[in-house]
Structure 1
Amino acid sequence: MKKTIRIGTRDSELALWQAHTVERKLNHLGYPTKIVAVKSTGDLILDVPLYELGITGIFTKTLDVAMLKGEVDIAVHSMKDVPTALPKGIVQAAVLERADVNDILVHKGNDNFFTDTATIATGSLRRQAQWLNRYPNHTVVDLRGNVNTRLKKLSENEWEGAVFAAAGLERINLLPENHMVLDWMIPAPAQGAMVVVAMENDLYSQTALAQLNHKPSEIATHIERQFLKKLEGGCTAPIGALAAYFDNEIRFEGVLLSIDGTERLHIEKVLHAGEDYSNFGSECAEEILKNGGAELMEKIRAELKK
């Protein structure tokens, strides 16, 4: 008799969509499942910017605890929310095929965001820094909450726009007509990807999930997260990374910025077919660190401690 795989998830609409997607795929393979929804600290504390909470993996910790206590067997996450170092006893079991990686600006249907006085909302240091680097005279305000909450706050305030991940809005059919793709903004490492984790000793769940793994997405997100891990050293920082396949090449683009966007360190590299990708992300990060990144990371850490 097959055991029922208990799928842990946050209880937001987007998180539940992701969990049900994994559930359908497992059910199709003949595995019985059950959804177990929990509320994370990141969903409960909405009046403080994420970086001020000083917690790595604020959206995943609650599910980590539920897994370690044996309350759920696997957990589904937006991969960009997952710390680069998983808790002891928990392993990455599958990366699903990646969706749209882009950030988008949801706006009020006019061109006011190109003026000198525009106010743009985002809860992400990475988005804030890249926006201010491009539009230094703009004001960026904090925006927290799940996708639905953030869209509602945008409609209720006089901001010109707010930045979202395209994949999140597309998945739950909330992509407004009034939006533009920010193709110049380098996404968060693993943005648009869903990851499923399991207990290291749970070979049954790992075997089931291995059948959902999308190798190209796994490789690309590995490179991006390795770049992040090497740069940040456990510190939240404005870091963007994107690895993508083109004609049997992996093209990588990474960026590290100061929080106010005035400093920007950028790298682009190509890995050819057949070359070892296992340390590619670290090598790109090393290049950034040697070219001013180490000093910039120290400044960022000092600023975040204030």
Structure 2
Amino acid sequence: MVEGAILVGDVGGTNTRFAVAHRVGGAILIEQFEKLPDREYASLEDALEDYLARSGVRMRAACIALAGPVRNQEVTVTNRGWHVSAQALKARFGFADACLINDFHAMARSVPELAEDVFEEILPGQAQEGAPILVTGPGTGLGVATLFALSPGGWKVLSGEGGHMAYAPRTATEHELARLLARDHGYVSNELVASGSGLDAVHAAFCEMFGRPVEDLTPAEMQSRAAAGDEMYRALIESRALAVMGAAGDLVLANGALGGVVLAGGVSERISDYLRSPLACERFVSRGPMSAYLETCPVRLMRDATAPLKGAAAYYEQLTRI
């Protein structure tokens, strides 16, 4: 076993990823990486047991990032329903230490550990040195965290459930979308509009708005139709991108995150062309008398499937060093 190596995990509503992480020089190295579909397991423990049995990995410590609020080292995964306890993981797998953190806490903590080539420019700007960095974006859910540099060194992450803030429609199409979603689902959050877990609801609403039957389509098929000129699917994807960029702009205002925005998550990657459209960039900046506050704030897209694993390792390393 490599000194300082730990088991790391990233548990979302669709897939769970495990790996072994350790620092080599200045970089965190990820080895024995595996992605497991959540639907094949009744619990996180079953998925972890399968990973350990097939990989032969044996670690003394684990740090697992999960999509849900962590309280007293317990969490229920928001879009999967698995209940996970650090104490139960130690008891079942013999870990000397196990730590649970929010998945976007790990995502945010990964940012200073990543090479520049994993970031793609969405909106150019100039990051304010020392200012907080906002990390957000839709996958199965919509995660939000803010990264702060500490003096004389290290990083602190403020995480919460910002994806569940209320959706703020601006156009006539968006107001009608919000009305239909409120009728059928009650509270309308940014997560409902922008994330994978809300796509079926948004799709049904757009079909009603356009007077079309609901078809059973994958996200990729919806994108193909939009690319071929289908007005409804183009409007659907555009609305999701506007929700992401609108929420990001609001969060920069709330947190003073002029260190820039990092967009993450599988949905962000799939709709990146829509996120960088002039309309979406305007949605990020346009805040009436406070628009100038956002005009120079850069937005980048992160493309690294192992980022939360690296973030979990970096978080645990810093936690145990203090």
What is the TM-score with the length of structure 1 in the denominator? 0.30
Higher RCO (C-alpha 8 Å, min separation 6): 2
User: Higher helix fraction: Structure 1 or Structure 2?
Assistant: 2
What is the TM-score with the length of structure 2 in the denominator? 0.29
